[in-house]
Structure 1
Amino acid sequence: MELRQLQYFVAVAEESGFSRAAERLHIVQSAVSQQIRRLERELGVTLFDRSTRHVRLSAAGERLLPEARAVLAAADRAVRVAADVRSGDDGVLRLGAVNAPGDRIYRMLSELAAVAPQLQVRLRRLGLADRLAAVRSGELDAALVRAMPAAPELELLPAWTDPLYVALPADHRLAAEPTMRLEQLADLPVRLAPRENNPPFHDLIMDAFRAVGVEPRLGPPFTDFQETLVSIAAGPPSWTVFYEVSGLPTFPMVALRPLAGPALVTSLAIKPGPPSPHLRHLLHALAVTSTDG
C-alpha cells in the first residue's frame, strides 16, 4: 500500500467521481482508476460501487475512509515534524550538565523553550571524562564543562564566567578584608582536592599561584565541602577556594570572601564544525542568559 493510493482513494470519495478526482490531483483519470483497483486488490475489498452514472463508497469504503484520512494526516504531521527537526525547532537536544550557580541552567532552558518550544532537552550528569567522551562519540550533542582551556577533538565555547570564593577562619586577620588576593594567602595552608579529582579546577588554581609568583603551602586535602568547612573552623588555620553551586553557605566561625582572581569559566564543549540547528538555538539561549548575568 502506498500513500498516493490512499490520497487517490480519499480524493475519489470526496469528489464522488474519478474524473473530478483526477482534475483535483492534476493527473489523468486512468492513473486514478488503476491505483484504486490496485488498492482494492491489496486490501481484498471493494471500495466503490461503480455504475455508468455514479461512483459511491461501498460499505467497506465508508469504513476505511476515516482510517485513510488518519493515515494521511499522520504522514503530513511526520513531514512537518521532520521540517521542524531540520530547522532545530523540534527534536531532542542531549546536553551534559553541571551544577550551575543560582538559576543559570533554568534561565538557559527557559530561553531555549521560548525560542524552540517543541525542542526537548535531555540533561545528563556525567563525570568530566565521560561527559567529553560522550560528546566525541555523538552520545551527547554538547556538554558544559568548567575551567577547561582546551579539550582534544572538541571545540570549547565560553558560556559564562563565575567568581571564586575563599573560605578561611573567621578570626583570622585576613577575614577583615572584603576581597582576597592569592598573594595575601601565601603563608596560610590551602586545602585543595587531589588533582585527579578535578584536573581543570586544580590546574586553574595552581596556574593562578604561579602567575603571581607564589608557591602555595598545601594543607590537608579538600574532601567534601561541609567537612572542609568544619576543619577550617575547628582545626589549625587553613583556607580553601571554591565556586558557588547552590548559593553561598553560612557557616559559624568561617568567613567567605570573593577572590580577586582568577575567575571560573564554564564552556560548552561541542564537536568542531558548523553547529546543528539545535545547537544554534542553545548558543542563542546561552548568549542571552550570560548577557543577563
Structure 2
Amino acid sequence: MTLTQLEIFAVVAARKGFTLAAAQLKISQSGVSHAIRALEQELGVALFERQQGQIELSDIGSRLLPRAQAMLGLAETLRQEAHDARGMKQGTLRIGSFGPTASVRLLPAILAAYRQAYPGIEVHVDEGPDRQVLHWLQERRIDVGFVVLPEEQFDSYPLLEDQMVALLPADHALAQLASVTLKQLCLDPFVLTEAGSAEIVSRLFLAARLQPRVRYRTSQLLSTLEMVGRGDGVSIVAQSSLPLPTSLAYVQRPLDPPVKRRVGLAVVDERIISPATRAFIELARSLPRNAAD
C-alpha cells in the first residue's frame, strides 16, 4: 500500500469516476484503474461498486475512505514539518470558504498578509455553502475552513462576531420599525439564501416553532438582495455579508430578540495540523479587526 494509491483512491471517490480522477491527477486512466485494482487486491475488498458505467463507494470503501484521508493528511503534515525546518519555503494550504462574510470580508486581507509572509506556500481555496465547508473538513479535502461557530466536532478559532438581520424591501411596512420579530417575517413570502447562513435561519424558526413562507431558495446572496429589492419577499441574512454601501432598494433591521453570529476557522484536529495551516490560523487571529473585517 502506498500513499499514491491512497491519494488515487480519495480522488476517485471525490470525483466519482476514473476519467475525472485521471484528469485531476494528470495521469492516464489505466494508471488510475491499475492503482485501485492493486489496492483492492492488497486489502482483499472491493472499494467501489461499478454499475452501468458509474462507480460508487462500496460500504467498506465508505468506511475506509476517512482513514485514507487521515493518512494523507498526516503525510502532508510530515512533509510540511520538514519544510518548516527549512523556513517553510514550500508546502500547500487548502482553505474552505463560504459566503461574502468569509470570502469577501475576511479572506482577502488574511491571504494578502499570508502571501507576503510565506510566498512559497501554494494556496488553494474552495468556495461553497457553509455546510459544504463542514463536509470538506470531514473528508479532509481542505486543511482549514471558515465556519459558523460553534462547531463542536472540530477545533475552532473565533474571528468575527456580527448579527443576523431582517432584510426588507425599502417600502415595506416593517421597514418603519426599529426591529423585527420572526413572527412578523412569517407573514410575507420568504427568500432563503443558502450561500452562508441557511442553517442558522432554519434553526431560528424551528426553535421559535414558526414556519416561514419560503417561496424562493437562492444559492447566491446577490439573488436574495435583488429579490428583496424588487419586493418579491423578505429574508434574514448575516449583517457582515451585506455589501457596502447597501442598495436603496432594501433595508436591514435587527431581529427582536437580537441574534448574534460568530464566524471563525476550524480544523479537524489542531494537534496534527501542518505548519502552513497553523501559520494561517495564527496570522488570521493576529490581524486587527478592521483589517480582517
Tell me which interval the TM-score lies in, with the shorter structure as reference length. 0.5 to 0.7
Deviations 1:209-252 (A, max 9, x none): 355x452432412335455445445557x410123446146445
Q: 1:272 aligns with which of 269, 278, 282?
A: 269
Aligned counterpart, 1:177 = 177
Aligned counterpart, 2:111 = 109
Aligned counterpart, 1:10 = none
Distance (whole Å) between structure 1 residues aligned to residue 280 and residue 144 of structure 2:
9
CA RMSD of aligned residues (A): 3.7
Task: Go from structure 1 to structure 2 and tell me whether the alpha carbon gap of 1:214 and 1:251 turns closer, same or farther (over 3 Å shift).
Answer: farther
Task: Go from structure 1 to structure 2 and tell me whether the alpha carbon gap of 1:146 and 1:88 turns closer, same or farther (over 3 Å shift).
Answer: farther
CA contact (8 A) 1:89 1:117 kept: no
TM-score by length of 2: 0.54
TM-score by length of 1: 0.54
**Among the aligned pairs, what percent are the same residue?**
21
Report the residue type matching 2:259 in the other structure: P
1:48-63 matches, cutoff 5 A: none
Aligned counterpart, 2:199 = 203
- C-alpha deviation, 1:123, in angstroms: 1.9
Query: Structure 1 residue 255 and structure 2 residue 251: aligned?
Result: yes
Q: 2:236 aligns with which of 235, 241, 258?
A: 241
Distance (whole Å) between structure 2 residues aligned to residue 230 and residue 126 of structure 1:
20
Task: Go from structure 1 to structure 2 and tell me whether the alpha carbon gap of 1:136 and 1:240 turns closer, same or farther (over 3 Å shift).
Answer: closer
Q: 2:282 aligns with which of 281, 284, 289?
A: 284
CA contact (8 A) 1:115 1:281 kept: no
- C-alpha deviation, 1:93, in angstroms: 1.5
Report the residue type matching 1:89 in the other structure: M
Distance (whole Å) between structure 2 residues aligned to residue 270 and residue 88 of structure 1:
23
Report the residue type matching 1:285 in the other structure: L
CA contact (8 A) 2:94 2:144 kept: yes
Deviations 1:187-224 (A, max 9, x none): 4443325xxx57x833312333355x452432412335
CA contact (8 A) 1:88 1:276 kept: no
Aligned counterpart, 1:160 = 160
Residue ranges of structure 2 left out of the alignment (5+ in a row): 1-79
SS in 2 for 1:149: coil
- C-alpha deviation, 1:105, in angstroms: 1.1
CA contact (8 A) 2:197 2:237 kept: no
CA contact (8 A) 1:165 1:256 kept: yes
Distance (whole Å) between structure 1 residues aligned to residue 83 and residue 268 of structure 2:
22
Query: Structure 1 residue 124 and structure 2 residue 126: aligned?
Result: yes
Deviations 1:63-82 (A, max 9, x none): xxxxxxxxxxxxxxxxxx98
Distance (whole Å) between structure 1 residues aligned to residue 212 and residue 88 of structure 2:
52
Distance (whole Å) between structure 1 residues aligned to residue 222 and residue 161 of structure 2:
24
Task: Go from structure 1 to structure 2 and tell me whether the alpha carbon gap of 1:184 and 1:176 turns closer, same or farther (over 3 Å shift).
Answer: same
SS in 2 for 1:174: helix
SS in 1 for 2:287: helix
Aligned counterpart, 2:213 = 218
SS in 2 for 1:163: strand
- C-alpha deviation, 1:83, in angstroms: 5.3
Tell which deviates more after alignment, 267-276 or 131-140: 131-140
Report the residue type matching 2:151 in the other structure: P
CA contact (8 A) 1:99 1:245 kept: yes
**How many residues are paired up?**
205
CA contact (8 A) 1:94 1:123 kept: yes
SS in 2 for 1:222: strand
- C-alpha deviation, 1:287, in angstroms: 0.9
Residue ranges of structure 1 left out of the alignment (5+ in a row): 1-80
- C-alpha deviation, 1:253, in angstroms: 4.2
Report the residue type matching 1:144 in the other structure: F
Distance (whole Å) between structure 2 residues aligned to residue 97 and residue 259 of structure 1:
26
Distance (whole Å) between structure 1 residues aligned to residue 173 and residue 130 of structure 2:
37
SS in 2 for 1:171: coil
Looking at secondary structure, tell me which structure has more strand per residue: 2
- C-alpha deviation, 1:163, in angstroms: 3.1
CA contact (8 A) 1:88 1:277 kept: no
